[in-house]
């Protein structure tokens, strides 16, 4: 039987998780602006590709991490934790890119929004979308997670396209 204390503890954990994930997305977006912009472009231009890539990477690394964390050797557990934290860091960059994409679209809908206000709302919408019972937990959440991992991997581990050299100005006098 659940007591009111148990219910309040669960509510507190959910609220703390939402607030901390929102703050993480804002911090990563501000600290790693170029990588976040790259992740946003990847999600915007090829959402299916990054979602599939993220699903493959998350499932493969998830199996490897789970196997390493269940080993009795402390060094292998440490390697498992390091891999897990690197996967989460990569997903944070990708999730920040998704929030930046939502912020960009919110800015188009409401031009008076400041860039921080749009990013803050975009991050909050992305986080809250995963809390919707059943649909958010089992469809939206995993899809956002896979897209975040895929976009984060592409943003962190691929080179940005080389910029074309600027054309010299036409200085001929006629």
Residue 166 confidence (pLDDT): 55
Residues 60-95 have pLDDT tens digits of: 999 999 999 999 999 999 999 999 999 999 999 999
Residues 38-62 have pLDDT tens digits of: 999 999 999 999 999 999 999 999 9
Question: Is the confidence at residue 98, as pLDDT, over 90?
Answer: yes
Q: What is the DSSP string of 85-131?
A: HHHHHHHHHHHHHHHHHHHHHHHHH-TTS-HHHHHHHHHHHHHHHTT
Question: Is the confidence at residue 173, as pLDDT, over 80?
Answer: no
Residue 9 confidence (pLDDT): 95
Q: pLDDT band at 148, cuts 50/70/90?
A: very high
Question: Is the confidence at residue 168, as pLDDT, over 60?
Answer: no
Lowest mean pLDDT among 67-71, 100-104, 162-166: 162-166
CA distance 50 to 25: 19
Q: pLDDT band at 162, cuts 50/70/90?
A: very low
Residue 38 confidence (pLDDT): 96
Question: Is the confidence at residue 120, as pLDDT, over 70?
Answer: yes
CA distance 13 to 16: 5
CA distance 81 to 137: 25
pLDDT (mean) for 92-108:
97
What is the total residue count of the chain?
Answer: 174
What is this structure's pTM? 0.86
């Amino acid at each position: 039987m659940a007591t009111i204390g148990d219910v309040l503890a669960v509510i507190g954990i959910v609220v703390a998780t939402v607030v901390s994930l929102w703050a993480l997305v804002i911090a990563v977006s501000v600290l790693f602006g170029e990588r976040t912009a790259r992740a946003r472009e990847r999600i915007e231009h090829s959402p299916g590709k990054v979602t599939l890539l993220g699903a493959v990477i998350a499932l493969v690394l998830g199996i490897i991490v789970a196997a390493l964390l269940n080993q009795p050797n402390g060094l292998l557990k440490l390697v498992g934790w390091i891999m897990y934290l690197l996967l989460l860091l990569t997903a944070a960059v990708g999730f920040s890119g998704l929030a930046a994409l939502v912020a960009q679209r919110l800015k188009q809908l409401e031009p008076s929004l400041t860039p921080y206000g749009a990013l803050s709302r975009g991050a909050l919408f992305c986080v809250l979308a995963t809390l919707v019972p059943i649909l958010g937990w089992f469809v939206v959440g995993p899809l956002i997670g896979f897209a975040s991992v895929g976009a984060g991997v592409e943003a962190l581990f691929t080179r940005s396209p080389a910029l074309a050299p600027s054309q010299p100005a036409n200085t001929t006098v006629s």
